[in-house]
Chain A
């Protein structure tokens, strides 16, 4: 069966440090992987997409890597701020038919 794993434990870091979140998957061969941010009581918001032929993608303080051999994506937030505190979810398009499956998300707490 398909499975996407994200660390269910909250990640607590100090402001200014780099946060690294992990997304692991099994039984997929996705053409791309997405990352979303979700704030309490709100729907997720799209952040970044990385394709299978891209090793790394950056957007401002965000960086995503994608290792199709390890079946893993890493999501980094550099110079983290308290406003970055949220739950971050990864999503995969199953069989590339626009049918998405999400990880359970990792809650990030950035302390001032």
Chain B
């Protein structure tokens, strides 16, 4: 398995509080991604990073921010959590075009509940 971990694995929080999810990799892959997965919507890209301090928005970025100060860590912050952000969050890593298949390797997921 690719060396990718997410923390916390489960979190319950209240509406209006800030929440930070952490993704850590030991593969030295250039690209890192944050997705959310909800029933009926599949995986939706929130933000992604193509290098240290280089990030870009995905299709559902409102209400989320990210930071990548080191190759191995990619943080996702919910600035003021809302119930609509209750979801399972997946982090993924990729070597990009350096890999023949450009495949993504996914972390185990974080289940977030906003009450």
The CA of A89 and the CA of B50, in the complex, are separated in Å by: 23
Of all A-B residue pairs in the complex, the 5 with the closest CB atoms, nearest first, are A43-B106, A104-B42, A46-B103, A102-B43, A49-B101
Contacts of B35 in A (CB 8 A): 102
Choice from A32, A36, A41 contacting B102 with Cβ under 8 Å = A32
Choice from B40, B94, B100, B107 contacting A98 with Cβ under 8 Å = B94
Given A43-B90, A49-B102, A99-B56, A89 and B43 contact (CB-CB distance below 8 Å): yes
List residues 83-105 of chain B with CB under 8 A from any CB of chain A. 90, 92, 94, 96-97, 100-105
Contacts of B50 in A (CB 8 A): 98
Total CB contacts across the A-B interface at under 8 A: 59
Is B74 part of the contact surface with A, judged by Cβ < 8 Å?
Answer: no
Contacts of A89 in B (CB 8 A): 42-43
Residue in A closest to B6 when the chains form the complex, CB atoms: A43
List residues 59-115 of chain B with CB under 8 A from any CB of chain A. 59, 90, 92, 94, 96-97, 100-109
Count, chain B residues at interface, CB 8 A: 29
Interface of A is mostly: strand
Given A43-B109, A89-B43, A100 and B56 contact (CB-CB distance below 8 Å): no
Given A98-B97, A100-B33, A49 and B103 contact (CB-CB distance below 8 Å): yes
Is A45 part of the contact surface with B, judged by Cβ < 8 Å?
Answer: yes
B102 touches A93 (CB 8 A): yes
